[in-house]
Amino acid sequence: MPELPEIEVSRMGISPHLTNQKIQQIVIRQSKLRWPVSEELKSLSGVRIDRISRRAKYLLLETELGSIVVHLGMSGSLRVLEQGVEHGKHDHVDLLLTNGKLLRYNDPRRFGSWLWIPAGESLSILNNLGPEPLSEVFNTDYIVPLATKRRVPVKQFVMDNKVVVGVGNIYANESLFNARIHPLRPANSLSYQEWQLLVEQIKLVLAKAIKQGGTTLNDFEQPDGKPGYFAQELQVYGKAGEKCPECGEVIQQKMVGQRNTFWCETCQVKEKA
């Protein structure tokens, strides 16, 4: 599933081509996605896209009438193409622009969504979300009170979108390793200093992934350009049975909250500092 950095790079990639451009037509070939594609999208001809923003893993194409809300699901991708490029089997939605470009949505598993929020209204799926991890709101003073009464594993805690959005599995594993904190420790067992370090590492790991993804931005204009997970120097994620890059201990693996969890038993602290 595309994680927050992949979604942010998608936003960066499509923004120059869509911002301040008018919609010519939205072609819906398959309306049965995770939720039915909003019927309102068919009547946006002539409406200008003012801005492309992101909330958690949702992209918002903002207009004066409201916002188109796009989620890539588990297998979705966006590409900017010239109009006239033949569509494929899994190209479910095309947003045609008056400048001759089109935004094409491809999704083999159809777990994504294209929804509509009228101006001044809200969408239930965007309510009750935690802060963005790269914002100033997400800091030690914010997260410590939330963690005080939570005994769930710290990895599961930071992946809760009601706590903070967008800390996906890869980035949670890597951040905890960098902070030298065991992923199975209860969230309320971390000291203030440990939370301070973990928050810092979450921000650093995500920012690095976004920066790495910036090199793929040209792919958004290619017919086969599907930006996926970025080439990363992963420390523990997917490394079960291999040697820890720091101490040589064998990397461990366990399912936590139905997600694969990786750690080094020597480097990552099991008890409160």
Cite the active site residues.
Answer: 2-3, 57, 259
Distance of CA 62 to the CA centre of its chain: 19
Whole-angstrom Cα Rg for the chain: 20
**Phi then psi for 253, rounded to 5 degrees?**
-145, 140
Strands 259-264 and 48-49: unpaired
3-state SS of 95-123 is EEECCCEEEEEECCCCCCEEEEEECCCCC
Query: In whole angstroms, what is the distance from residue 152 CA to residue 157 CA?
Result: 6
DSSP 8-state symbol, 261 = E
Q: 71 Cβ partners below 8 Å, 6+ apart?
A: 34, 57, 58, 59, 112, 113
Length of the chain counted residue by residue: 273
Query: In whole angstroms, what is the distance from residue 202 CA to residue 180 CA?
Result: 12
- Reading the block at residue 264, the tokens are 């080094």
- Max CA pair span of the chain: 61
Query: In whole angstroms, what is the distance from residue 32 CA to residue 209 CA?
Result: 32
Q: 38 Cβ partners below 8 Å, 6+ apart?
A: 114, 115, 116
**In a 3-state reduction of DSSP, which class is residue 255?**
strand
